[in-house]
Amino acid sequence: MLNRYRCLRFAEQPLGGKSRMEPYEPSNSTKPVYTTPTMYYRTGTVDHGSEITLTDGGYYERIENGIPQLAGGDGYTGFQQSNTPKVCASTTPASSLFAAAHNNTAGEYHIYRTEKEPDITLTNAPFDFSLLNEVRYNNPSDNPVTFTHYQTVTLPNEAITDIGLTYIPPGLPYIHEWGDAVQTVLSETVLAGNDYPQDITSRIDIERPNRKAYEQQPGAFI
């Protein structure tokens, strides 16, 4: 079964971030060029106000050379566990919101962000790591991560249902495509101050996953 518990770690502690414009002076220019720092996002259901500093981490999947390490030999039985505490985040607000809302309920979600560079980037890793655009920070007790409030949104039941459809076991090759579609609609609707649609297939050309079809045939992991 696809490791559906993974997303829950994103809802453990909400996060935050601030936008800052930093001047950069090229050697061949007399005018400064301003660059916007890359931001990383973390979402939860608890409102921590304008800022939160995370000093406690969780023990998640073991990563070696950017690859999640499976346990159980030839048969997939889960991931090896890391001995290093980590804080998880995502490279986009939609991915962070998607991760926090999986296995959760409709209601308010608080998105925080940081410009602190992560220690591990899993945006090209297999399984759902790339779907969540996941990054990690090692040893937050020694290297705290401060997030500032970015946005608060309200997710309806329709969004929760669509997110959950991504993780119906045993899974099929196109469920990664479905998860990306849901994140696109989240970006265009709730994250943009608009209503989430009752049926996202009215906005995007994709087939809605069918629960019975998933349960009746073996599929591939994302």
Of the two residues 30 and 138, the one the predictor is more confident about is 138
Mean pLDDT, rounded, for 167-195:
85
Q: Structure tokens of 48?
A: 């921590």
pLDDT in tens, 39-96: 999 999 999 999 999 999 999 989 988 888 888 766 556 888 899 999 999 999 999 9
Does 15 have pLDDT greater than 50?
no
| Core vs surface per residue 142-160: b (16+ CB within 10 A) or e | eeebbbbbbbebebbebbb
Phi, psi for 83 (deg, rounded to 5): -95, 0
Instruction: Please check whether residue 165 is in contact with residue 155, taking contact to mean a CB–CB distance below 8 angstroms.
Output: no
Cis before 85 (ω within 30): no
Of 15-29, 58-72, 170-184, the range with the highest mean pLDDT is: 58-72
Domain boundaries, the chain: 4-26+34-216
